Structure 1
Amino acid sequence: MSETPAAATPAPSDKPKKAEKVAKPPKPEDKPFEAFIHEELIPALRKGLQDHNITPAVLDLRQGERPVVGGTCWMVHGELPPGRRFWLCFSEASITSSKTIALADPGTDASLLESFLIDEKRMTLALLQSRLLQRLNGQKWLGGN
């Protein structure tokens, strides 16, 4: 009986490995609330304002009394020259919580609290930044338009 050599089949360890999945970095929006605001949103807002040649006097996250209606909330507070102020308020420590915005011209208190991004299903850094800058531009705070 003559034996024919079996076809050389590669050993399991010789087979090429499938491309290993590279772990995607987490989305900025997946960060805890305070980290997202401090590390992502505030720097993005600062850059967006600087693109309009505006350097905010104040741009920070604070927990305090909601303008106009009261009640404690988290808010991104900004002061722009010459004394214009805004508050982007979050009802909870979450970027997906309900949001309101209040604005005040120099020498005045905020007198109106508006809903902010109420119809959005997904909240992203780009959306928060662009819509806040759009709202400030609507007040003509970012230059002549």
Structure 2
Amino acid sequence: MSEIQKPGTEDQATSKTDQSLPDTKSGSKKPEKPPKLEDKPFEEFINDHLIPDLITSFKSNGILQTKITLEEKERPVVGGKCWILEGTINQGRRFWLCFAEKKISSSKTFLIAETGSEPSLLESFLIDEKKTTLPLLRSRILQRLNGQKWLLSN
């Protein structure tokens, strides 16, 4: 036997559930998610997220003298203007992460130089990765510098 409900006498549980759902008929939308870090403007991502994250990672690896900047200038070794994340760590060792365009997904190259010398080799960086993220950039920079035995743990 089915129960017939009179208009205006709806079950309270149904009423509460219906009120908590967004009203899609009137055009209201679900709250928008904040943009992913990687979707933020290039300079904001680098200056507000990547650089502080790298400095924290360097400190946890025993590198206390750190200077990291972002500038658009001539790429070392081969020339050509690009966006460069330039870092100087303990005793003047330097590294450069070069972005071909003003976006983190652009092609990237990496250079290093020991104290008192200029870089002489340009390496492709993250060429096989489909998506560039903050953790990926940080880990690969640290991995590359660790390969040079520049981190304290070596």
Task: Give the TM-score normalised by the residue count of structure 2.
Answer: 0.83
Aligned to 1:6: 6
Contact 1:84 1:106 (C-alpha < 8 Å) held by counterparts: yes
Q: Which has the higher helix share?
A: 2
- Cα distance, 1:26 vs structure 2: 1.5
Q: Give the distance between the partners of 1:88 and 1:72, measured in 2 at CA.
A: 13
Contact 1:85 1:104 (C-alpha < 8 Å) held by counterparts: yes
Residue aligned with 1:82, SS: helix
Aligned alpha-carbon RMSD (Å):
2.3
Q: Give the distance between the partners of 1:132 and 1:96, measured in 2 at CA.
A: 15
Structure 2 residue 42 is matched with structure 1 residue 41: no
Could you report, residue by residue, the CA deviation over 1:26-57 in whole angstroms, capped at 9, with x for unpaired residues? 21101000000001100110011011121244
AA aligned to 1:74 is W
Runs of 5+ in structure 1 lacking a partner? none
Runs of 5+ in structure 2 lacking a partner? 23-29
Residue aligned with 2:70, SS: strand
Aligned to 1:141: 150
Q: Give the distance between the partners of 1:34 and 1:133, measured in 2 at CA.
A: 21
Contact 2:55 2:66 (C-alpha < 8 Å) held by counterparts: no
- Cα distance, 1:24 vs structure 2: 2.4
Task: Give the TM-score normalised by the residue count of structure 1.
Answer: 0.88
Residue aligned with 2:91, SS: coil
Residue aligned with 2:112, SS: strand
